[in-house]
Amino acid sequence: MSHPSARWRTRGLPAEVTSFVGRRREVADVKRLLPGSRLVTLTGVGGVGKTRLAYRVAAELCRAFPDGVWPVELAELENPELLAQAVSAALGIEDHSGRPPLEALTEHLRDMTALIVLDNCEHLLPECAVLADALLRASSSVRVLATSRQLLGIPGEQTLDVQALPLPGADPGSVEASTRYDAVRLFVDRARAVRPGFALTEDNRQAVERLCRRLDGVPLAIELAAVRLRALSVQQLLGRLDDRFRLLERRSCTAVERHRTLWALIDWSHTLCTPEERLLWARASVFVGGFDLEAAEEVCAGDGIAREEVLDLVAVLVDKSVLITEETPFGVRYRLMESLREYGRERLAEWGGTDAVQRRHRDHFARMCADTLASESCQLKLLSRVKLETANLRSAMDYCFGTAGDAGYGLRMAADLRNHWLSGYLGEGRQRLAQGLALHHAADEARGRALAVDGWLAVVDGRPDEATRLFDEAREIGERLGHGVILADVALQQGLLALDRGDAETAITLCRAADARHRATGDIMGRIRASLWLAGALTLTGDLDAAVRTAQEGIALCEAHAKSLYRAHLLTMLGVAFWRRGDTGRAGTLVKESLTFHRELGNSRGIGLNMAVLAWITAADGRYERAARLLGIFERFSREPRSRQAIGAQVAGYRHLRPYQEECVAEIRRALGETDFEAKVRGSARLDVDQALAYALEESAGDDVAEAAGPPAGACSTPLTRRQTEVARLIGRGLTNRDIAAELVISQRTAEGHVEQIMHRLGFGSRSQIAVWISEHDGRNGTEVEHRDRHLR
């Protein structure tokens, strides 16, 4: 699934931060076209508002698609081979079956009723056409809404050419008549954002109308121009635009008029910047999907910009609306709109600085990859940040693999990202490692490490023969180099392979040998992984005391070195050992703690395993109905309902646990009977993610899944879960996200996720709307209770 702040929502549409002006006819046209054609492509020039229109239509159609409305932003994707993986990530799909990514994606969508918004397809046109065609053939209830400067060109495609906003004629005659035109309304709306007292008057009306006509009604051009009202009057702005457009017309008479309009406006914004600001703009264009201040300082500084100047330059570009700011759990990030980024890249190429800046970009993100293994800081934070930088990491590896002599850099990055690949990007990880290994043939440390990591991922991917081949070559390189870490890694991964095959004794021997090597080399991560798999193997042999000691030693290492991801996995293994010893209370506590972490990270692989183990523990306590519901939730995360008993298929790397799952399912079936069992499983599989996690963690009052799913019949209906309603009430009291986190004893990121979910479920764009809604909702609740009590009396 996707980034933690967005991962657990069934509809991932971004909240509108500015008002949506006009487009009533276009919205109605798209809504009319979608039911019949299933693929609608919005075409038009850059900046005309295709994305905004698509998201507005998607938001209005949310209720028609019970399985979600899913935006897939493709402007950040530069490698067409990763298209299917990018769409899967946006939809929250993790597949460990080894199937081609497009096949896994179409299988996932086969029985779903969903709308997929493919935004900015033009640079991936052939690949997007193949993907859209495959999705529509796989499911009759999936719809695709695409935005592109060109048609996709597949059968059944309906198109809507998004035109510029309607413009007033030479003189509509009055202020009232002028404001009937969407172009004027948009300019006035955006002008008020930078000058709150701005109003359309008889004194400025003609200048505003002329300006909108000069901008051809292109929304992005109008918005960029309105920003200049911070320093200029409308008349001054118009005069400068006229000069800029005349200059552009002398330079290019062949460009499409609206392209010339937008480019002229960007060009004018560029000339209003100082040389240092222009240079930072150009260098920032190498980032894909945004960047933070630290990245800007490392990549954009040098050769004319001092590091200490970067912050001030970024702040000025934000003020000039060249850079857009975005709040994240890791602080403020900055982003260039795609048209401004395209302009910046052209300038950078003209000035001859692209390669040097790309190398600094590569080095910055290579260090980030290495930090995910070597850093002593919080692993959850590091892995979450890596997910946020996925587009930049892809771009950096593309640069390495496309530059002579740099393939080794890319291969090291791919190997360092091994934990990232396991948190939802397994197919991409294997593809990147294969790409690097095909380019970098030297029998050196980079190749040896990459072979060992790729072998590990092959085990997880269910490809033991391929893993064995990779391990053999890695061992040869390790022996030739005398590299203890590579040899220890190979022995450890072979232990995992033996464990997955059910050969616990061989796994124990190999894991202990690997642990000894890792102790000798001082490799903490190797020791932690050895303890994880050794604990699993010892549990399988029935040596439960040794399994408990091994897991506890691994947890202590994780806590000493801030390795929270592996701590969560070890907590689960420790819970399994305690369950096998009959201590279900302690086992449940441990597994729920692990589940809480995986919810924070958004790691569906870990969540799936936790759900299965909780079902085993619950069944051991005789709570069979709850256990069946937990199995249904396990299916919700595994996405493999036809293989309920084969946990290894869904939770790769833990195939040795398959017999426990099969025993548990058989026991629950016997206790409940086939009909009741299937009903409970199907019912909980339909819960949304928030409800499912709240139920598993027993955050919902009572043991009835209906309570987790929503209010009982006759109660005041609400689209929110109990926890979300609680958060909404705290918002109504004026609490910030930090205050909410402290009040509920949860992380601030979790609180932010709840707030985001509430906004999407209620269709709101601000906290104040939530506060008003919860006040009205609680008021209605109180009135209904009062009426009911009066009736009873």
CB 539 within 8 A of CB 575: no
- 326: helix, strand or coil: strand
pLDDT band at 410 (very low <50, low <70, confident <90, very high): very high
Give burial (CB, 10 Å; 0-12/13-18/19+) of 698. Answer: middle
Which pLDDT value is given to residue 753? 67
DSSP-assigned letter for residue 123: G
In 3D space, the residue among 371, 351, 756 whose CA is nearest the CA of residue 525 turns out to be: 371
User: How many Cβ atoms from other residues are within 10 Å of residue 767's Cβ?
Assistant: 18
Q: Which two tokens stand for residue 502?
A: 């059910």
First-to-final CA distance of the chain: 52
Per-residue pLDDT of 85-124, as tens digits, reads 889 888 877 666 667 888 888 888 887 888 999 998 888 8
> Who wins on pLDDT, 343 or 279?
279
Which pLDDT value is given to residue 569? 92
- 63: helix, strand or coil: helix
Which pLDDT value is given to residue 66? 79
**Residue found under tokens 């892809």:** 394
CB 106 within 8 A of CB 138: yes
The pLDDT mean for the chain works out to 81
Q: Which of 185-194, 405-414, 740-749 has the highest mean pLDDT?
A: 405-414
Which pLDDT value is given to residue 551? 95
Has residue 250 got a pLDDT over 50?
no
pLDDT band at 701 (very low <50, low <70, confident <90, very high): very low
Which pLDDT value is given to residue 650? 43
**Angle of helix 390-401 versus helix 407-416 axis, rounded to 10:** 150
Q: Which two tokens stand for residue 124?
A: 């991936």
Over range 382-389, report the average pLDDT.
85
Which pLDDT value is given to residue 249? 44
CB 543 within 8 A of CB 506: no
647: Cα within 13 Å, side-chain hemisphere: 28
CA–CA distance, 291 with 286 (Å, rounded to integer)? 10
Measured CA distances, 197 to 89, 181, 204, 462, 479 (Å): 44, 21, 14, 64, 74
Amino acid at 178: S
Per-residue pLDDT of 315-364, as tens digits, reads 988 877 788 888 887 889 998 877 788 889 989 999 888 999 999 999 99
DSSP-assigned letter for residue 204: T
Percentage of the chain exceeding pLDDT 90: 29
Which pLDDT value is given to residue 785? 40
pLDDT band at 204 (very low <50, low <70, confident <90, very high): confident
Which pLDDT value is given to residue 592? 94
Q: Which two tokens stand for residue 428?
A: 């991409």
CB 638 within 8 A of CB 589: no
Per-residue pLDDT of 223-232, as tens digits, reads 878 888 887 8
Per-residue pLDDT of 536-558, as tens digits, reads 999 989 999 999 999 999 999 99
Question: Strands 114-119, 142-148: parallel, antiparallel or unpaired by DSSP?
Answer: parallel
Has residue 791 got a pLDDT over 50?
no
Has residue 416 got a pLDDT over 50?
yes
pLDDT band at 378 (very low <50, low <70, confident <90, very high): low
Has residue 494 got a pLDDT over 50?
yes
CA–CA distance, 261 with 667 (Å, rounded to integer)? 70
Which pLDDT value is given to residue 745? 61
Per-residue pLDDT of 616-672, as tens digits, reads 999 998 899 999 999 888 876 665 433 344 343 344 457 788 888 888 888 998 899
